[in-house]
Each structure stands twice: as structure tokens, then as C-alpha cells.
Chain A
């Protein structure tokens, strides 16, 4: 047994192929027995230079690459990119697009469905990291229904390439509304089962309560976003505070961490982040229902300003000669704020793309919160941050 000894510490290399690191993350962990003294995240194993590739692609060709930025919520990534490009186009009156109303609703509907499926993966794999395999299977069962719906509409189950500048690639498939409503009803019941099975389980709560509590100041100063930020009690959600799409026409609450674990918990601990995600799923169900209610019926004509789904011709024309300038557009994705900074020099290729993702910033706080935790807590911490590695490395 060869253990590099430095005092009483053991250096453990957790990853890049470790079952709990959700991909190719490597944590260099220095432990004193089970208790961790230091932790250094080591990333870059999945770097594909997506941002650089984007500089050599036409504007609309970059959409499939946004699928791969975060493959667990491709719809949301698409959404952020097309909104960023559309906001660039809207800086000039000549190129401004009038997106059909139905397309806006379809986008919000699918973004929220994908948020549900992404949270299902995150919540499920977090329980699996803690040795409970059954809730994981139940959660992924629900995700399968969403994948089925997406597949019938856009033909893909994981990387959708569905949204495009000017709308969405095709209309909802016939009968989609009824299918989605049935699914949402089933999901509500399934969530109650899931919560009775695992979320309110005492062992589960005990594992998460009080672990890796992050104060609101720390969460803001380390750049945590999305559910991780709200888990620390910061009430901020781009969908409500900087509404994009049709979110301003929809009623929903923003769940924030409130020390859900009770007496043993602390504000901003892993359990708060877990419950915030659970509540967000319930809010997403509300948003989906409202989007379905408010969505104008299809007119059967592609570029109809109300019942159409894409102004593709206008978009093609505008993208041949977009306005010169720079925009930064941010969207509320399942893993938090995803921002696209685009620099345009007026040609049909972007001059520069920079993607800002939630998982990347979440990793930066590891060095601060991990020391003092146990090895098993690091696993739950990775799960509670819901890190997806392609989003970290891009």
C-alpha cells in the first residue's frame, strides 16, 4: 500500500472517471481520514472550443453547438442563443424580426419542459449518488415522457436543434397540447410519490441538512446563479426580474431557500438547493399550463404573425448582414443564468462568442466550502450544485 504521506493527509484524485462526478470532473482532494482538508477542482477534460468553432460558422449554424453546451437542457441553450442573436438583430430597425406569438409560446413551453427534465436528471442523480437508485429510475421515467414529446415534435431526444433565429423549426405535432397536459397531470402525481419516497426521508434529510451551507453574500460574490443562488435565500430570477420571451405574461412564484430541513438545517445548505429544484419543477408545471392556455392556435402558415412559428425568410435575410455591435444576453436556464456575449462585425459570421454558464462558476466555490466536509458530503455537494461538465468546459 503506497500512500503519499504528508503529515496525516492522503491525497485522493476524485475523478475524472469517478461515478459521482457527473462526467469528467477531477477533484484533487486532500483528506485527513474521512474529513477533507482541501479540495481543488481540475477541469478541462471536455473542452471542445465551442466558442472558437462558433466564429467560423454562420449565425444559424451555431444552434446545434448550443445543444452540446449543456446537453441536459438543450432547449434552454438554444433559447438563450436565438434570443441573443435576435436581440443583436433588434439593435437595427432594418434587421429587427417580428417573432410570431405562437413561436414565443412554444419556446417558453419547451424551455420549461426541458427545465423539468433537466431537474429530473439533477434530482435523480443526486439521490443515486447517495445510494438510492429507485428514485433515480422514477425521475428518469418522467424525463422519458418529455423526451417522447420532444421527439415527436422535433425528431431528437437529446440534442434538439429545435429553436432557430426567427422562431422554431417546425410547429407542434398534432395532439401535442393534449399530450403535454396529460403528462403534466401525471408528473404532479409522480412528484408527490418521489417526495414521499426520498425528499422527506429522514436519512436523506440527515445527509443533506446543514451540509455545505453557503451564505447569501458568498453565493453572490462567488457568482452562483439559478437554483444554487436561490437556495441561499437570494430572491432573484431572470424570468421574473428581467423577463424575456413571454414570461411577463405568465404568473409564477420564485422558490427560494428557507432552511427547509428544519431545526438541523442551515440556510443555503444542500437540502435547500435540492428543495428549491423540487419547487421549481412545480412552478414549471404552472408555467407550462399557462403557456398552453394562452398559446394562439396554429394558423398553418409559417410566418403568420400570430399563429405562425417561424419568420425564416426574414431571419435569413437579416443574418446575411446583421448590424455591427455587441450584445450580452442572459437567460434563466435550469443550471442558472446562461449568458451569450456576441460581437458582430456585420458579416455573416460572428466575430466573437463568449458563453457564461452556471456550472463553471459553481465549481469556483468548491475550494471554499469543501474543507471540513466528509468524502460522502462532496458527492452530495456535486449533486446539489447539479453540475453538468460539458457546460463547465464548453
Chain B
């Protein structure tokens, strides 16, 4: 009997067995490592430092520096811990005296930390705060929903390909599975809101469910579009279908294959923002309307679990967006040199590329959060049902029609990518590629022109004074 999830776990197992460990035990350890590494080694650390980057992005947006506490702050902290029995002013006084010593002040003046200490401070704060449940709360649900919050995101990583073989599994219906597990976060938010015995939490929970129900539809439709194009529901298959030989491997990415795929990428990203409960769709949190929304009553580490769940969801969305539209773990500058590497090295390089794409997406979400105001609940619903769902349907039918009309010109090819051979994939030739872009581009230009010609009446002249554009 052998345990294996592919060449990566095999080579790790043989390395461990070389240390004198029995073969079976080595295989089990290797498989466990490959299964746990994505969540524990990639998602958790990124979610942990995300708050720091969130603050830095906020600082950039607001023309300030963000967290900048340096070594002096750490010294203060050490003195706070060591002299906890003294009043605060005395602790500070002692710390200042220490910091002003000749050598110490020189050293402290030279150490730059860019505020990285705030990561540790956040962690310590989260652990030290009291874990409270409000009177009248449903204790089981109140405590249980924190664990459920992370479950959805982490279950999704079970089918998530970080490289050709660095994954827990690659079921042929991975897309369906993803749709099922990512909805779990709504259950946890609903339970958290319901069990808190707080009306603001209750509103947050209800809002979250209303939103998830609406936004699962465009997400499912856009995943369906990608699956239709790639001819498979396996994530590895979707990635393999985006393979393009040579250095110009961007040409294989789904985002550029058809205007309908580009459209559906936008639909997916907007809907995924809503499913992550991120701004401008953070209505279930809505800190200015609902105090704290569903997590009003949570404190300490339990609040931290919701927080990590939110960032895990963001990383997941970034990774899925990359998988479906940006070639997954494939590099933008040619694939052959990576595929020919030994298994572990290949896994590392591919993982790094995918994580880079996911982190860029997380950064984009932060940028959006610090730029846009929040929607109202009816506007959120309207956006989903009157804009996103029709757009997703249009691209579904548009892509299907394109595929049928250009079937004689395009080759249905089976792409052999590395060790993976894909399901049959439609690859348009240059003409069948350009025609849909021209048609959709022309329609867009026409729509904009029509909106300008027959659209809303011009704004009052004072509005021009506000932005200085064409000021009277």
C-alpha cells in the first residue's frame, strides 16, 4: 500500500525515507505535508500580515505613511511587560531614560522597522483580549460560527492547484465543489449574527445571506462560462487549457481569448468581492450603519478568526481569478523551462507565481476598499440581478455562439502541457479571435455614444466647478 498525491509528495517521501524512516510513515508524512502546506504555509501567513499591508495601502490612499512604529516602540513594549506592576507614566519614564543612553539612542536611531512591529502587536492584542459572549447569546452557535467561518475558505483550498502536482486532489467536478463550499461563509455569518442576541448583528447576518444568495448566481454563471470554454470542470484542466507554447504564454490566458471571457472576468471579480464581504459590498459589517455588523459582539481571538477567514477568502478569490482567467500558476514568460525542473523546484516556482497573482488581487481589493463608498442593500441586489446576471448570461450565450460560428475555422486541440494532457480545447485562429472583439468593441462604443446623445440631461453648471473640468 502506498500513499501519494503525485510526484511532489513522492519526492518528499523518498527524501524522508532516506533519513531512515520507514517507507509507509514517510509517505504519510509527505502526503500530510502537501495537504497542509497550502493552508498553513501560504494562506495563514499572508492573512496574518494582511492587516499590516491593509494599513499601508490605507496610508498610501490617504497620503500618509501608515504604521511607522520602530525599534523605540518595541523597547517601550518590553518595558511595559517587564515593569507591569508600575504605573504607566513610570514605565514610560524608565523606558525614555533607557532610550536616551548614549549607545542605545544611536542604535535605536539607526534601526528602521517600517512599522513591522505592528504585526506582532496585533497578534499579541488579539490573544490577550478577553473572549466574551453576550448575555442571552446562543453559546453553541456563537462559538461554533467562528470555526465555520474559516471552514469554507480552507475547504476550497483542498482542490486548489498550486502547481501541476502540488495539490490535495483534482476532482473532475472541482468547479461544482467550489461553488458548494464557498457559500459556507454566509452560513457562519448568519449564525454569528443570529446567535449574538444583538439587533445590529442580526441585521448584518440577514444582509449577508441576502447578498450571498444573489451573488452566487453570477459567480456560478461565470464559472460555467469558463468551464464551457475550457471543456472541463477540473481546475488543473482549466489551467492546462490556457497553456500556450513559447515565451509569449500570456496569449493562452482566458482573459484575452474572447471579449466575453473578459466581460465574465469582470462579473466574477465584482461578485467575488461581494462574496468576500469586502468594500464596497461590506454591508454585513457596515461599521457606520450596523456598528460592527455580524461581529459586533465578538472580541479577541474569535474576532481574529473572522478576520483571518475574510483574508483567506480574499486570497482564494485572487487565486481562483488567476486560475480561471490569468493562466493559473503558469508564468507569463514561457512555461517550458519551469515544467522541465525537478518536481519540488517546479512546485516552488509555480506556487510563487500563483501566490504573486493572488497577492496582487488582494492588493487591488485593498485599493478598492480605501477608495469607494459602500452600496445600499437594495442597490447591491439591483446590481446583481439587473447587471451582473444579465452580463454573465450575455457572455454565456455570446461565447457559445462564437464557438459555434467559428467552429469550422478554429481547431479543437488537445493540449499536452507538461505531465498533464488537457481535455479538448477550442483555440481560435486570428480571424475568429478578432471578430468578436471588433463586434463587442463596436457595440460598446455605440452604447456610450447613445448614452451621451440620449442619456441623462446635463448636470447643473455648478457641478463642473467642483472638479474644475470645463469650469465656466
Whether the Cβ atoms of B291 and A18 lie closer than 8 Å is yes
B373's partner among A1, A195, A198, A260 (CB-CB below 8 A) is: A198
The range of chain B's interface size is: 35 or more
Select from chain A the residue with minimum beta-carbon distance to B457. A263
CB of B372 closer than 8 Å to a CB of A: yes
| Bitwise interface map of B from 57 to 90 toward A, beta carbon under 8 Å scored 1, else 0 | 0100111100000000000000000000000000
B197's partner among A1, A279, A374, A379 (CB-CB below 8 A) is: A1
Q: A19-B291, A131-B282, A131-B286 are in contact. Are A137 and B373 (CB under 8 A)?
A: no
Interface size for A (C-beta < 8 A) is: 49
CB of B288 closer than 8 Å to a CB of A: yes
CB of A262 closer than 8 Å to a CB of B: yes
Whether the Cβ atoms of B376 and A204 lie closer than 8 Å is no
Whether the Cβ atoms of B61 and A19 lie closer than 8 Å is no
B288's partner among A128, A134, A191 (CB-CB below 8 A) is: A128
In the complex, chain B residues whose CB is within 8 Å of the CB of A3: 199, 202
In the complex, A154→B49 CA distance in Å? 44
A292 to chain B, nearest CB (A): 22
Whether the Cβ atoms of B460 and A20 lie closer than 8 Å is no
| Bitwise interface map of A from 25 to 61 toward B, beta carbon under 8 Å scored 1, else 0 | 0000000011000000000000000000000000000
CB of B371 closer than 8 Å to a CB of A: yes
Interfacial residues of chain A within 72-130, with CB under 8 A of chain B in the complex: 127-130
Whether the Cβ atoms of A138 and B286 lie closer than 8 Å is no
Whether the Cβ atoms of B463 and A131 lie closer than 8 Å is no
Whether the Cβ atoms of B460 and A260 lie closer than 8 Å is yes
Whether the Cβ atoms of B466 and A278 lie closer than 8 Å is yes
| Bitwise interface map of A from 185 to 202 toward B, beta carbon under 8 Å scored 1, else 0 | 000000110011111110
CB of A259 closer than 8 Å to a CB of B: yes
CB of A258 closer than 8 Å to a CB of B: yes
Whether the Cβ atoms of A201 and B463 lie closer than 8 Å is no
CB of B143 closer than 8 Å to a CB of A: no
Whether the Cβ atoms of B373 and A201 lie closer than 8 Å is yes
B243 to chain A, nearest CB (A): 39
In the complex, A20→B291 CA distance in Å? 8
In the complex, chain A residues whose CB is within 8 Å of the CB of B195: 1
Other CB < 8 Å A-B pairs besides A200-B467, A279-B466, 18 of them?
Answer: A2-B136, A3-B202, A20-B288, A34-B203, A130-B374, A131-B279, A132-B373, A133-B62, A138-B62, A191-B466, A195-B466, A203-B372, A203-B374, A203-B375, A203-B379, A258-B460, A260-B463, A377-B376
Whether the Cβ atoms of B371 and A262 lie closer than 8 Å is no
Whether the Cβ atoms of B463 and A133 lie closer than 8 Å is no
| Bitwise interface map of B from 356 to 376 toward A, beta carbon under 8 Å scored 1, else 0 | 000000000000001111111
Whether the Cβ atoms of B197 and A260 lie closer than 8 Å is no
Q: Nearest 8 CB-CB pairs, A to B?
A: A131-B374, A132-B373, A130-B373, A137-B62, A195-B466, A263-B456, A129-B288, A258-B460
Whether the Cβ atoms of A260 and B291 lie closer than 8 Å is no
Interfacial residues of chain B within 258-304, with CB under 8 A of chain A in the complex: 279-280, 282-283, 286-291
Q: A131-B282, A206-B379 are in contact. Are A279 and B456 (CB under 8 A)?
A: no
CB of A12 closer than 8 Å to a CB of B: yes
In the complex, chain B residues whose CB is within 8 Å of the CB of A377: 376
- Can you pick out 22 interface pairs between chain A and chain B where the beta carbons lie within 8 Å of each other? A1-B195, A1-B202, A2-B136, A3-B199, A10-B199, A33-B206, A127-B373, A130-B373, A131-B288, A132-B371, A192-B467, A197-B371, A198-B373, A204-B373, A206-B375, A258-B460, A259-B460, A260-B460, A279-B462, A375-B290, A376-B286, A379-B289
**Which residue, of A33, A132, A195, has the highest number of chain B Cβ atoms within 10 A?**
A132
In the complex, A255→B138 CA distance in Å? 54
In the complex, chain B residues whose CB is within 8 Å of the CB of A131: 279-280, 282, 286-288, 372-374
In the complex, chain B residues whose CB is within 8 Å of the CB of A198: 373
CB of A275 closer than 8 Å to a CB of B: yes
Whether the Cβ atoms of B279 and A374 lie closer than 8 Å is no
CB of B41 closer than 8 Å to a CB of A: no
A24 to chain B, nearest CB (A): 15
In the complex, chain B residues whose CB is within 8 Å of the CB of A206: 375-376, 379
B451 to chain A, nearest CB (A): 12
In the complex, chain A residues whose CB is within 8 Å of the CB of B459: 260, 262
CB of B465 closer than 8 Å to a CB of A: yes
Interfacial residues of chain A within 215-262, with CB under 8 A of chain B in the complex: 255, 258-260, 262
Which residues of chain B have a CB within 8 Å of any CB of chain A?
Answer: 58, 61-64, 136, 138, 194-195, 197, 199, 202-203, 206-207, 279-280, 282-283, 286-291, 370-379, 456-457, 459-460, 462-463, 465-468
What does DSSP make chain A's interface, helix, strand, loop or mixed? Answer: helix
Whether the Cβ atoms of A195 and B467 lie closer than 8 Å is yes
In the complex, A375→B202 CA distance in Å? 13
CB of A207 closer than 8 Å to a CB of B: yes
B363 to chain A, nearest CB (A): 16
B376's partner among A133, A191, A374 (CB-CB below 8 A) is: A374
Select from chain B the residue with minimum beta-carbon distance to A263. B456
B199's partner among A12, A200, A275 (CB-CB below 8 A) is: A12
B62's partner among A129, A134, A375 (CB-CB below 8 A) is: A134
B370's partner among A133, A191, A379 (CB-CB below 8 A) is: A133
**Which residue, of B63, B197, B288, B468, has the highest number of chain A Cβ atoms within 10 A?**
B288
CB of A372 closer than 8 Å to a CB of B: no
Whether the Cβ atoms of A279 and B373 lie closer than 8 Å is no
Whether the Cβ atoms of A1 and B286 lie closer than 8 Å is no
CB of A305 closer than 8 Å to a CB of B: no
Whether the Cβ atoms of B136 and A275 lie closer than 8 Å is no
CB of A23 closer than 8 Å to a CB of B: no
In the complex, chain A residues whose CB is within 8 Å of the CB of B377: 34, 374, 376
A200's partner among B202, B206, B466 (CB-CB below 8 A) is: B466
Whether the Cβ atoms of B457 and A192 lie closer than 8 Å is no
B349 to chain A, nearest CB (A): 37
CB of A371 closer than 8 Å to a CB of B: no
In the complex, chain B residues whose CB is within 8 Å of the CB of A64: none
In the complex, A378→B394 CA distance in Å? 37
CB of A282 closer than 8 Å to a CB of B: yes
CB of A296 closer than 8 Å to a CB of B: no
In the complex, chain A residues whose CB is within 8 Å of the CB of B370: 133-134
Select from chain A the residue with minimum beta-carbon distance to B382. A206
CB of A141 closer than 8 Å to a CB of B: yes
A276 to chain B, nearest CB (A): 9
Whether the Cβ atoms of B291 and A207 lie closer than 8 Å is no
A20's partner among B199, B289, B371 (CB-CB below 8 A) is: B289
B61 to chain A, nearest CB (A): 5
A221 to chain B, nearest CB (A): 26
In the complex, chain B residues whose CB is within 8 Å of the CB of A18: 291
Whether the Cβ atoms of B373 and A203 lie closer than 8 Å is yes
In the complex, A376→B378 CA distance in Å? 10
In the complex, chain B residues whose CB is within 8 Å of the CB of A255: 462
| Bitwise interface map of A from 133 to 175 toward B, beta carbon under 8 Å scored 1, else 0 | 1100110010000000000000000000000000000000000
